[in-house]
Structure 1
Amino acid sequence: MLGQNKVLHIEYDYFFKDYYPEIRLLELVSNNNESLSTITRTIMLKKYGEIEASPKSFYHSYYKTKDSITSQEKLDALEHLVKESLPKFNWHLTGQTKTILDQLCQEATTSFRGRNYIAYFNSKIPFRAAPLKFNGLPGVVLALYTDDNKIAIEAKSIAIKNFNGPIAYPFTEGNETITWETFVEKYKQSWEKHKNKVGSQIQSIGSSSSMTMGIPKVSPDLRMEVIVEGN
């Protein structure tokens, strides 16, 4: 089997723009049977300069097998373990190429839960791996972008190391998991609660107030998947 007794380790810079640009560290470990993507926040880029943040101020894990993925989701200060079947992607090879870390990569495009993605993968590395929920390309994904310039994930280091045994399940065994559909419903309920709260606050200010206050975009969390339109 490809990658037997070996493990692939990639570190990515993960740029995410929502309220303000933000840089995260994304680490991927894969042995072709399981993979683990871990995200920590490293730098928050605000209007008045860079602010160093504790890596533990934001922490997500995605544990992927050949059949399913379990992800750690935070909503209303509560953490949920969401387990779903491995998503199926309709990849389109464009014929374009790009060199990343001296690796010649092919370009492929797809759409996933409200966003359009451009991926660059290398088929010569003896693994099949991609960060987060992505899968299905015949190689290793070294970069992933959205066409709205909100997300950019780029490999900054890659290594293949000796490794025996499965990649450990990162969550506490026995903790309850919920389905993706259940999480979506919880997310929508949270969205409505936040919108109603914001509407009440704006109404209490009154139209005669000299304060200029637009309606803020309500986002219980920064997400790749667009669960609620406009999020």
Structure 2
Amino acid sequence: MIKNKITLIFIFFNLSFFSFSQVGNITVKYNYSLDDTKDIYGGNDFKKTTLVTNGKESLYSERNIDTTIVYANGEDITYINKNFVYYYSKNLTKKTITYKDRYVGMDFLIKDNNYSVKWTLTNNSKKIMGYTCQEAIGEFSCKSYKAYFFKDIPFSDGPFKFDGLPGLILEVLSDDGTVKITANEIILDNDFITNPYKDDIKFISYEEARKKYQLKFAKFANLTTDENGSVTIPKRYIECYVN
């Protein structure tokens, strides 16, 4: 009886591995939280996000849980409805990501050709959704991170700009506790991955986008209210735009 049970477990494991390794595309849904309130220069963001990937290209989308406020410039305030979706299109072969940034300004299409995380693998592991994931540590923008990836899904991809590991990333945690992105559902499918920016030809680099945000930050820093109060916007969200 015990032998039969072990055999069934072994068969189930191999069927699961076969399914993951043979599927065309994989969809992963994540819970995303950014709660950086150690000073007035940190941002807050709570979203439901989705990654559709085949290991060569992917589409990552973000949907706000609540309506958020975006300061478009030094005078106007934009309210983004929680049903609005932001898209990040990745070419994993060329190592590029294209997107419209909610913070810099939605009129700018950004192509980042230089994003990367220098990961170091550790011997630690963690269960995510029942899957044993290996730990990696790395630096991205101004924060240190731990990522947990599942080697049995052989796609070097993950949420946002976190990728480059020998397996699909199911969780990303910043060491300061401000960022947490955790998978809550994995779907095997063969849907096409669409690039919403495939017909766009004008874009700015990430470096240009960062400079635009720094100018916007400086403009806010020089504003005062009628009560002689000061106005500011965050220096950092999941990425740091101002040193």
Cα distance, 1:101 vs structure 2: 0.8
Q: 1:76 to 1:36 in 2, by over 3 A?
A: closer
1:136-155 correspondence to structure 2 within 5 Å: 136-155=164-183
TM-score by length of 1: 0.79
How do residues 169-208 of structure 1 correspond to structure 2 at under 5 angstroms? 169-171=195-197, 173-197=199-223, 200-201=224-225, 204-205=226-227
Q: 1:173 to 1:82 in 2, by over 3 A?
A: same
The residue aligned with 1:48 is: none
Question: 1:28 aligned to 2:54?
Answer: no
- State the percentage of identical aligned residues: 28
Alignment: residue pair count: 206
Cα offset, 1:94, TM superposition = 2.1
RMSD: 2.6
Q: 1:94 aligns with which of 106, 119, 122?
A: 122
Question: Could you list the per-position Cα deviations for residues 133-189 of structure 1 after superposition, in whole angstroms to 9, with x for gaps in the alignment?
Answer: 1221000100001111111000000011134x5x22113613521011111111110
CA distance in 2, matches of 1:76, 1:124: 37
CA–CA distance in 1 between the matches of 2:199 and 2:227?
Answer: 48
Residue type at the aligned position of 2:34: F
1:43 CA displacement:
3.8
CA contact (8 A) 1:42 1:54 kept: no
Change (3 A) 1:76 1:185: closer
- Counterpart residue identity of residue 213, structure 2: Y
- Counterpart check, 1:227 vs 2:241: yes
> What is the match of residue 39 of structure 1?
62
Kindly indicate whether the alpha-carbon contact (under 8 Å) linking 1:69 and 1:86 is maintained by their aligned counterparts in 2.
Answer: no
Structure 2 unmatched runs, 5+ = 1-19, 38-42, 69-79
* Greater strand content: 1
Q: Give the Cα separation in 2 of the matches to 1:126 and 1:184.
A: 33
| TM-score normalized with structure 2 length | 0.75
Matches of 1:77 and 1:33 in 2, distance apart? 28
For structure 1, list consecutive stretches of 5 or more residues without a partner in the other structure.
46-52, 207-212
Contact 2:220 2:231 in 1 (8 A): no
1:5 Cα offset (Å): 6.3
Letter in 2 for 1:186: K
Question: Equivalent residue for 2:31?
Answer: 13
| 1:22 Cα deviation after fit | 4.2
| Alpha-carbon offset, residue 71 of structure 1 | 1.8
Does the 8 Å contact 1:109/1:116 carry over to 2?
yes
